[in-house]
Structure 1
């Protein structure tokens, strides 16, 4: 494990050293989240995400974009809503077919900060003890530079990890995100 961490650190250091350009920014937007697996009759839940990023251009055609995002996810179910809050850390590889457009893909790790079941009637119920504290997924998407500073993006997170901490449970996140951002 130590070798993996040191190798990753060396690759990031090399990437920063060879980067043509590094820009920092903030982004926020709409999440349309759902859960798949052992839950029945779920539908998308509208929520939000907000956070920051560093866009590291390695060349005219390639870049890396690590991010830190606060993201509210979950699903609407018959009789209520599940609402899970995560701090997500995606690392996106970016390909620029034209200067204004990037196609992106990359892994994401999420750290659960809170989890609530919200019945249609009655008080919210804390369900964090029934979920794993981390989530893993893969993102695919695209972003478009409206100006040098403003951008818009569309991304889908495919949950790969079972987030249920129950012995026989299998639940995965899926989130469609529409973002707007500002680069400094």
Structure 2
């Protein structure tokens, strides 16, 4: 029990000393459907994010984005861990969730779960640039036939502004 309390105390103190920032982001988004990278769709994304941790070392950046392609739209929730290997350059990795909005056929999942990787740079005055690719891990088909797979992978590149 003492070890658990000590662990919570360390985490709490770390978060209390962490820098918490909020911001807005947006940019270009493209989607590939299936494992053969066919059916490329182009669109955009816009959203809000929060960032906490020690900038210049490691931070967490959860975000809430609206993504739009042709007739499809999604709510995208990336939860990225950002590791700085140079003072202003970072590598990003983390889970990403996407929830399809609107009408979806009964054979398709509305919820997608994936893993995302990317790079980013802190430019100046709170301005940042990011590029990220998310691989869908679950099958988009609810009850696929034997060997049938459908993956919806996303690529985002855009700008953000820490407020």
Q: TM-score, normalised by structure 1?
A: 0.73
Match of 2:82 in 1: 94
Q: What value does the CA root-mean-square deviation take over the aligned residues?
A: 2.5
Match of 2:3 in 1: none
User: What displacement does 1:33 show?
Assistant: 0.8
User: What displacement does 1:20 show?
Assistant: 2.5
Match of 1:77 in 2: none
1:18/1:58 contact within 8 Å kept: no
Out of 139, 152, 160, which is 1:173 matched to?
152
C-alpha separation between the residues in 1 aligned to 2:125 and 2:84?
15
Match of 2:61 in 1: 65
Match of 1:113 in 2: 101
Match of 1:23 in 2: 21
Number of matched residues? Answer: 153
Residues 15-59 of structure 1 show CA distances to partners (whole Å, capped at 9, x for unaligned) of 87344211100001111211115xx88331111111110011246
In structure 2, do the counterparts of structure 1 residues 108 and 155 end up closer, same or farther at CA, with 3 Å as the change threshold?
same
1:62/1:95 contact within 8 Å kept: yes
Residues 143-165 of structure 1 show CA distances to partners (whole Å, capped at 9, x for unaligned) of 11121311111100111111123
1:160 matched to 2:156? The reply is: no
C-alpha separation between the residues in 2 aligned to 1:112 and 1:15?
38
Structure 1 runs not aligned, ≥5 long: 1-9, 74-81, 115-125
What are the equivalent positions in structure 2 for 1:1-20 lying under 5 Å apart?
14=12, 17-20=15-18
1:32 matched to 2:30? The reply is: yes
C-alpha separation between the residues in 2 aligned to 1:56 and 1:15?
13
Secondary structure of 2:106's partner?
A: helix
Structure 2 runs not aligned, ≥5 long: 1-7
